[in-house]
């Protein structure tokens, strides 16, 4: 067992409250006393029990983070960002992976809610009514999704799509296909919305191939539709799917970028390593994590600060080998 505040108090020859103050509100205690206390604490290897502190302050110093599937390469970066920022603020983070099982989520959050000051929900497919229920339990911040008045951090999908379309257009493409992710995902809808706007503004013809699982296999499955559609370029919901696309296109003998240009979204590590390397709309995922923590902590300090309640992170097209000049049909 570790030293308690009382032991430190005795060691320093002061009362427990003085120790508490010396540690939490240093300027409310005499400099020399504080020195003595700090030294005693050091000597005993004392660190306050956060649970006990939380019991009285009502704040735990903990954060909760909920993700649907950690093996999806999008999420680890977000988690890292959250981690890093939380640690800087001396917060610890509870992580829960719902395993793509939205049903588990509510129970999970209930359990977590007691132990955290706030929750970061990074879960594009949770049903809206469930989210609403969650807000009753704790302070919530959402990543990669907007819902009602809940503070959120999202990516500038519209601008990303605009960049992608501009790039394709500059390469001479006139027809582009969209390989969508899950129908229920907020970012699928946001991205296709941005894409529609961008392509119509640019006078590009858009072929929406439909919804596919957000995995490699989803991209594989979409590839044949793409080929049949006769487009010269395609944008996929995420990089993993784009890699699936690349794989199947190669198997079909369709050369990238000679015959078809391919663009992904996300900039996962693997996208730079495929051949051809994948042109992609890069998302600052760790920044999103950091921003979410930032937002949450601000919210906890001043619950009524409505400003900055949604933060939009920039996206950046990364041009690599999978896009090239349009073939002359």
Partner DNA sequence: ATGAAAGCGCTAACAA
Partner DNA sequence: TTGTTAGCGCTTTCAT
β pairing state of 279-283 and 315-318: antiparallel
Which residue ranges make up the site for a second copy (CB under 8 A)?
2, 47, 49-52, 54-55, 60, 62, 70-71, 73, 75-77, 79-80, 83-84, 87, 90, 92-97, 99, 108, 110-115, 137, 216, 243-244, 247, 250, 269-270, 273, 275
Give whichever of 5 and 119 is closer to DNA, judged by the CB atom. Answer: 5
Site string (3-42) toward DNA, x via CB under 7 A: -xxx------xxxxxxxxx-xxx--xxx-xxx--------
Choosing among a second copy, DNA, none, which partner's interface includes residue 34 (Cβ < 5 to 8 Å by kind)?
DNA
Q: Which does residue 199 bind out of a second copy, DNA, none, counting CB within 5 to 8 angstroms by kind?
A: none
Q: How far apart are CA 29 and CA 37, in angstroms?
A: 10
Helix axes 74-88, 285-301, angle to 10 degrees: 40
Distances (CA, A) of 37 to 2, 4, 44: 17, 13, 11
55 binds DNA (CB under 7 A): yes
Minimum CB distance to DNA smaller for 55 or for 84: 55
1 lies in the site for DNA, by CB under 7 A: yes
Residue (100 or 205) nearer to a second copy, CB: 100
CB of 65 to a second copy, least distance (A): 8
Least Å distance, CB 245 to a second copy, is 11
* Residue carrying the six token digits 């989520």: 105
- The answer to whether the beta carbons of residues 233 and 168 sit under 8 Å apart is yes
Rg (CA), the chain: 25
Residues numbered 187 to 206 that lie near DNA (CB under 7 A) are none
Kindly list the strands in the beta sheet with 205-211, ordered across the sheet, starting from the edge strand earlier in the chain.
205-211, 175-180, 233-236, 261-266, 279-283, 315-318
Q: Among 132, 160, 155, which residue's Cα sits nearest to residue 145? A: 155
Q: Which is nearer to DNA, 33 or 298 (CB)?
A: 33
Closest CB to DNA among residues 33, 72: 33
Residues near 88 by beta carbon (within 8 Å), at least 6 away in sequence: none
Token pair 């049909």 is found at: 329
CB 153 within 8 A of CB 144: yes
243 binds, among a second copy, DNA, none (CB under 5 to 8 A by kind): a second copy
For 36-62, b where at least 16 C-beta lie within 10 A, e where not — what string? bbbebbeebebebeeeebbeeeeebbb
Q: Which is nearer to DNA, 43 or 252 (CB)?
A: 43
Task: Report, in Å, the least distance between residue 306 CB and a second copy.
Answer: 22
- The reply to whether 112 sits near DNA by the rule CB under 7 A is no
Q: Is 184 in the site for DNA (CB under 7 A)?
A: no
Applying CB under 7 A, which residues contact DNA? Answer: 1, 4-6, 13-21, 23-25, 28-30, 32-34, 46, 48-49, 52-53, 55-57
């Amino acid at each position: 067992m570790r030293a308690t505040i009382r032991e430190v108090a005795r060691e320093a020859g002061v009362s427990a409250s003085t120790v508490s103050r010396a540690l939490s509100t240093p300027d409310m205690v005499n400099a020399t006393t504080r020195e003595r206390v700090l030294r005693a604490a050091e000597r005993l290897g004392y660190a306050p029990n956060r649970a006990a502190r939380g019991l009285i302050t009502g704040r735990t110093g903990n954060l909760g983070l909920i993700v649907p599937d950690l093996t999806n390469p999008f999420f680890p970066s977000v988690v890292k960002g959250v981690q890093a920022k939380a640690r800087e603020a001396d917060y610890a983070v509870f992580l829960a992976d719902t395993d793509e099982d939205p049903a588990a989520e509510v129970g999970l959050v209930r359990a977590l809610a007691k132990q955290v000051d706030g929750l970061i929900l990074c879960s594009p497919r949770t049903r809206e009514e469930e989210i609403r229920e969650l807000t009753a339990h704790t302070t919530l911040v959402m990543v990669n999704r907007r819902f009602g008045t809940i503070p959120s951090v999202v990516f500038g999908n519209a601008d990303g799509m605009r960049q992608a379309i501009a790039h394709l257009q500059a390469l001479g493409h006139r027809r582009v296909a969209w390989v969508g992710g899950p129908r229920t995902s907020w970012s699928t809808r946001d991205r296709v919305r941005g894409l529609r706007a961008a392509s119509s503004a640019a006078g590009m013809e858009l072929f929406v191939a439909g919804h596919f699982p957000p995995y490699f296999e989803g991209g594989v499955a979409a590839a044949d539709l793409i080929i049949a559609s006769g487009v010269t370029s395609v944008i996929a919901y995420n990089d993993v799917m784009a890699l699936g696309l690349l794989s199947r296109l190669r198997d079909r003998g369709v050369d990238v970028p000679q015959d078809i240009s391919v663009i992904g979204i996300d900039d996962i590590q693997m996208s730079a390593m495929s051949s051809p390397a994948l042109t992609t709309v890069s998302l600052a995922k760790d920044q999103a994590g950091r921003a979410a923590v930032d937002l949450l902590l601000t919210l906890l300090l001043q619950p009524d600060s409505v400003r900055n309640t949604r933060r939009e992170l920039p996206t950046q097209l990364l041009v690599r080998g999978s896009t090239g000049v349009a073939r002359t049909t």
